[in-house]
């Protein structure tokens, strides 16, 4: 009897591993620039295609996504040696996620920047489900930013979105 229970337990465990949910963490990194009158923040319209590429690299079909949530957003000033030494040219920054037919939702926000901040971890909206945005198509990230002053030189920016994806594995 004990052997039969052990065999059943192994078979059940194998079945549960073979189908169900798998969790994958993706990093989507976008670049942009700011300076003078030109501001092109990273992560804008390319986010949907970059996310699609990241899913594809992990062999994930978007139709198999059960849940998708951003767990961290990092903004980094990658330029060095210029006049702009930190991110204080920004007063506040908000990333909004939107898609075809869906209202924009706040994804992450940085309410202020301090002297010396070259890299900041934005406050991510807890439990914001991105699957409806993925399913709707045309998923993008929009930026609402207030500038304290335009950077005197052209600076390179990088934003990284860490995305947790639950995939239905069959």
Q: Where are the domains of the chain?
A: 19-169
pLDDT of residue 115: 95
DSSP 3-state assignment of 119? Answer: strand
Label residues 10-26 b or e (16+ Cβ within 10 Å = b): eeeeeeeeeeeeeebeb
Low-confidence ranges of the chain (pLDDT < 50): 1-20
Dihedral angle sign, alpha carbons of residues 47, 48, 49, 54? positive
pTM for the full predicted model: 0.81
pLDDT of residue 169: 72
pLDDT of residue 100: 93
DSSP 3-state assignment of 71? Answer: strand
CB distance 57 to 163 below 8 Å: no
* CATH fold for the domain made of 19-169: Jelly Rolls (2.60.120)
Q: In the structure encoding, which two tokens stand for residue 140, read together?
A: 């993008």
| C-alpha dist (Å) from residue 51 to 36, 58, 68 | 30, 11, 11
Instruction: Measure the N-to-C terminal CA separation of the chain; round to a whole number of Å.
Output: 31
- As a whole number, the mean pLDDT across the chain is 82
Tell how strand 155-169 and strand 140-147 pair up.
unpaired
């Amino acid at each position: 009897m004990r052997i039969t229970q052990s065999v059943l337990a192994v078979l059940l465990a194998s079945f549960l591993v073979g189908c169900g949910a798998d969790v994958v963490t993706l990093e989507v990194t976008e670049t942009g620039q700011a300076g003078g009158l030109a501001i092109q923040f990273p992560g804008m319209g390319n986010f949907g295609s970059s996310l699609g590429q990241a899913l594809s690299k992990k062999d994930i079909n978007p139709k198999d996504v059960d849940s998708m949530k951003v767990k961290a957003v990092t903004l980094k000033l990658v330029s060095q040696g210029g006049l702009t030494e930190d991110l204080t040219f920004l007063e506040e920054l908000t990333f909004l996620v939107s898609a075809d037919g869906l209202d924009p939702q706040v994804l992450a926000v940085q309410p202020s920047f301090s002297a010396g901040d070259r890299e900041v971890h934005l406050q991510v909206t807890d439990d914001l489900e991105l699957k409806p945005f993925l399913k709707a198509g045309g998923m993008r990230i929009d930026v609402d930013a207030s500038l304290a002053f335009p950077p005197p030189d052209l600076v390179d920016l990088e934003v990284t979105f860490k995305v947790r994806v639950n995939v239905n594995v069959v």
